[in-house]
Structure 1
Amino acid sequence: MSTPDIRLVVLDMAGTTVADDGLVERAFDAAALANGVQPGSPEHEPMLAHVRATMGESKIAVFRHLFGDEEKAQRANAAFEQAYHDLVDAGHCAALPGAAEAITALRESGRKVVLTTGFSRATQDRILDALGWQQIADLTLCPAEAGRGRPFPDLALAALLRTGTDSVHQVAVVGDTGYDMLTGTRAGAAVVAGVLTGAHGEERLRADGATHVLASIAELPALLG
């Protein structure tokens, strides 16, 4: 089966193009502690399970679900961001092998590339700065700039609108989580590709709508042709 004529590639960051290496979970420990939940405690374990299950979702949305009220959610989000920023500043941030090369190849083939995230703009910029990726993509988007985060279609559709892409049938959405796959399918993307370098395995990716599953982002340019 031939691959559709893809003009826009919407790429997730952590777990897809950027190595996570447990940074989200480590930062979540700080978020939980900010609301009096000790890491490793019986209360903490189901919260951590929810964080793992909802990888890719807007972090403030995750905290609203876990902590119930807005004040606690905002406190958790602030602690999470500070902890994540500290980890990035300490050097715990790296591109996944082949990611930069894949992005470059996609753009050189005439396609637009948009990097998306479930993080805030401040955290997204921290990662881009650490990697020297400020100019690597045509556009970068966080949930607050699109309307809603994953699993809603807003990030992919905002990318389409902002890049002037003609049709959802020219869009590929790529990520490492089920929520990325749901975003792609709900946006009507022609290609919804999961990668096995992050949070979720092939079964979850397929269940949530992946049209393709790749070992890593490095395989994407060959898939799209």
Structure 2
Amino acid sequence: MSTSVGTTRLVCFDMAGTTVADDGLVEQAFTRALDEAGATITDHDAALRYVWATMGESKITVFRHLTRDDEAAAQRLNDAFERAYELLVDSGLCAPIDGAEQLLTKLRAAGVRTALTTGFSRATADRILTALGWRDLADLTLVPAEAGRGRPYPDLVLTALLRLGIDDVRQVATVGDTASDVLAGRRAGAAIVAGVLTGAHDAAALRGAGATHVLNSVNDLETLLLPTDIPQE
């Protein structure tokens, strides 16, 4: 399957692991949150395996599963996770994936709309965007609370389509580093559902979830989305 700037009008990008280098920050924050859980979660190894398997999903949803739908405990863990992650971001450990910022800039210059989506809360997402100087990089940023449900549901992609005035899901491309990202793109009906190898899941997991393309990094999207005959700045 191929597409070009003539047929793709919106690209929905995941953040951590896709456009933002993770370098274990999500896992570190989850570990710190689990350390605060005490008796709420006794098998930390099993919990971390579940966290790794569900990377890309809404974080509060993950904690609800781990606490067996104890909402108060899930909210406490989610708050602890976000505090830990924000401290890591504030420590200067947050960095862009090579080429991600340049690609988003080129897409917007070529008339393609862009959205940055994440399973984090709005406060954490804004912390990352501010740290990177990305508050105005994309046309839209979205978190699960603003779309209805997080990944693997299609809500983030479809909300971006609606808010940015895209006419057809076949004019949408998505890119992410997890099986949940891929499932969300497939369920939304996107024409290109790319998986990248810079984050949580490997090529087998991405292909198993239905990725149309598996790329080394988000930077490789340029050859799919920006034809060589389009002037690039």
1:113-141 CA distance string (max 9 Å, x none)? 00000000000000000000000000000
TM-score, normalised relative to structure 2: 0.93
Residue in 1 that maps onto 2:27:
25
Q: Which runs of 4+ in 1 moved over 6 A?
A: none
Aligned partner of residue 11 in structure 1, secondary structure = strand
Query: In the superposition, relative to structure 1, how do residues 164 and 200 fare at CA in structure 2: closer, same or farther (>3 Å)?
Result: same
Are 1:48 and 2:39 matched, yes or no?
Answer: no
Quote how far apart the aligned CAs of 1:37 are: 5.6
Q: Which runs of 5+ in 2 are unaligned?
A: 227-233
Output aligned runs, 1:44-193, within 5 Å: 44-68=44-68, 69-193=70-194
- Give the Cα separation in 1 of the matches to 2:225 and 2:95: 25
1:95-125 CA distance string (max 9 Å, x none)? 0111101111111111000000000000000
- Give the Cα separation in 2 of the matches to 1:115 and 1:105: 15
The question of whether the paired residues in 1 share the 8 Å contact of 2:176 and 2:194 is answered with yes
Query: In the superposition, relative to structure 1, how do residues 109 and 37 fare at CA in structure 2: closer, same or farther (>3 Å)?
Result: farther
- Give the Cα separation in 2 of the matches to 1:142 and 1:18: 15
TM-score, normalised relative to structure 1: 0.96
Give the AA of the match of 1:157.
L
Q: How many residues align?
A: 223
| Same amino acid, percent of matched pairs | 63
- Give the Cα separation in 2 of the matches to 1:92 and 1:65: 28
Residue in 1 that maps onto 2:13:
11
- Give the Cα separation in 2 of the matches to 1:17 and 1:214: 13
The question of whether the paired residues in 1 share the 8 Å contact of 2:18 and 2:97 is answered with yes
Quote how far apart the aligned CAs of 1:42 are: 7.1
Quote how far apart the aligned CAs of 1:224 are: 1.5
Aligned partner of residue 173 in structure 1, secondary structure = strand
Aligned partner of residue 29 in structure 1, secondary structure = helix
Q: Which runs of 5+ in 1 are unaligned?
A: none
CA-based RMSD of the aligned residues comes to 1.4
- Give the Cα separation in 1 of the matches to 2:89 and 2:2: 40
The question of whether the paired residues in 1 share the 8 Å contact of 2:2 and 2:224 is answered with no
- Give the Cα separation in 1 of the matches to 2:110 and 2:176: 20
